[in-house]
Amino acid sequence: MHTPEQTPEHAPEPSGGTRPTSRDVARAAGVSQATVSLVLGDKWRGRVSERTADSVREAARGLGYRPNLAARNLRLGSTRTALLVVPALTNEFFARVYTGAASVAARHGFGVVLYPSPEGVGPARDPFASARAALDGVIASSMAAVALEAFRGTDLPLVMLDSDPADTGAAAHVNLDIADGMRQVTGHLLSLGHRRFVHLASAVPSWTFDVRGAALADALREVSVRTVRAPLDVDGARTAAEKALTGPGARPTAIVCDDDILAAGACKAARRLGLRVPEDVSVTGFDDLALATAVEPELTTVRLPAERIGERGMAALLAVLAGRPPEPGDLPVTLMARGSSGPPPAA
């Protein structure tokens, strides 16, 4: 390899007249492009002289050269890019998950590409059918699991959020203690004296909602519980809650909702029927979105650490890529008891 020791007195102008390239640096330093790559990639020791390395660095500084990190990473087989698949960015919870994942990624020189489902809820379609080679790994919500079929069987590591830990197709799972959250809600309502419940359940198929339903059924197995399913929107929840509150038999005294959005619909249903919350019926949610404190009375709900699950998800992917075991254990959740829950009405 020809590596002259002398630095030219006059560096030529960049060949394209715009952004300088490694070829421009090589011409300015009087060396080959291979030498430039070695020096700027910090792999020059023992292969070129220190004087030549200084010349290359000086030429790069003089030209204002910045390496094309994307092209370099592709050559190295790593793009330092993760794909985050979520049902909807319009849902505040998943926006916060992205914030957490992106903050950890940035500290490690990674970027996060976000793919929300075009439908807003439910499984997303395969987002990058031809771009799997441009990713280092995938992080996905269980609510968008169908989109991940395109990545199964590939060598891309997959980290699942809030998903079935028995799924062996994922390299790691990061879960919230969802069952404990539902136990906290039901324990709170039972302690207030409630014995007639409606479970306003999400009609969206997802492992996380299945866990909520199973935990609620287990906690309330000795009292009256009726399950009513509703689409994950306020109007659909209102319609379902109205039917539950006006159906045959004794009126329920508490409505336990899978989500704060469903709880907002239940509160609207109560008001339209002339019922007071919580004097006539208590309503609880799940997630602790901004909506929970925007309604009146403020919503009793379970706070899920959305940013923390995004952080843990990205950390788990980084651990898998480095060959380390991810951090174990589920993330704890917290009951936020507010004004929408109270003792049942007197018989």
Report whether 294 contacts 320 (CB < 8 A): no
Could you identify the residue written with the tokens 């419940």?
197
Would you say the CATH fold of 178-304 matches that of 78-176+307-329?
A: yes
Query: Residue 13 has what pLDDT?
Result: 43
pLDDT confidence of residue 7: 36
H helical segments located in 220-340: 234-246, 260-272, 291-294, 306-321
Query: What CATH code would you report for 178-304?
Result: 3.40.50.2300
Q: What integer pLDDT is reported at residue 11 of this predicted model?
A: 40
The residues pairing with 334 across neighbouring beta strands, listed in sequence order, are: 303
77-93 burial, b at 16+ Cβ within 10 Å, e below that, comes to eebbbbbbbbbbbebbb
pLDDT score for 237? 97
Q: Tell me, what amino acid is at 228? A: V
Architecture, CATH, for domain 78-176+307-329: 3-Layer(aba) Sandwich (3.40)
Q: For residue 131, give the 3-state DSSP assignment.
A: coil
DSSP 224-247: EEEEEEE-SSHHHHHHHHHHHHHS
CA pair distance 161, 1, nearest whole angstrom: 50
* CA-CA-CA-CA torsion sign (276, 211, 329, 105): negative
Each residue's pLDDT, cut to its tens digit, for the chain (347 residues) gives 444 333 333 344 444 456 777 788 888 999 887 788 778 766 777 788 988 988 988 998 888 876 654 444 444 446 788 989 888 766 789 999 999 999 999 998 898 988 776 554 444 444 444 444 577 888 988 877 566 666 655 667 889 999 999 887 788 999 999 999 999 999 999 999 999 999 999 998 889 999 999 999 999 999 989 999 999 899 999 999 999 999 888 999 999 999 999 999 999 999 999 999 999 999 999 999 999 999 999 999 999 999 999 999 999 999 998 888 999 999 999 999 999 999 999 86
Q: Residue 294 contacts by C-beta under 8 Å, 6 or more apart in sequence?
A: none
Q: What is the C-alpha R_g of the chain?
A: 28
CATH code reported for the domain at 1-67: 1.10.260.40
Looking at residue 339, its pLDDT comes to 97
Confidence at residue 115, expressed as pLDDT on a 0 to 100 scale: 78
Contacts of 47 (CB under 8 A, 6+ apart): 1, 38
Q: What is the pTM for the complete model shown?
A: 0.73
CB neighbour burial string for 43-71, b if at least 16 within 10 angstroms, e if fewer: ebeeebeeebbebbbebbeebebeeeeee
Amino acid identity for residue 85 in this structure: V
Record the tokens describing residue 282, joined without a space. 């208590």
Whether cis (ω within 30° of 0) applies to the bond prior to 278 is yes
Helix axes 260-272, 234-246, angle to 10 degrees: 50
pLDDT of residue 344: 96
| Per-domain boundaries in the chain | 1-67, 78-176+307-329, 178-304
- CA atoms of 265 and 108, how far apart (whole Å): 41
CA distances from 343 to 267, 275, 285 (A): 16, 14, 17
Task: Measure the CA–CA gap between 128 and 85, rounded to whole angstroms.
Answer: 11
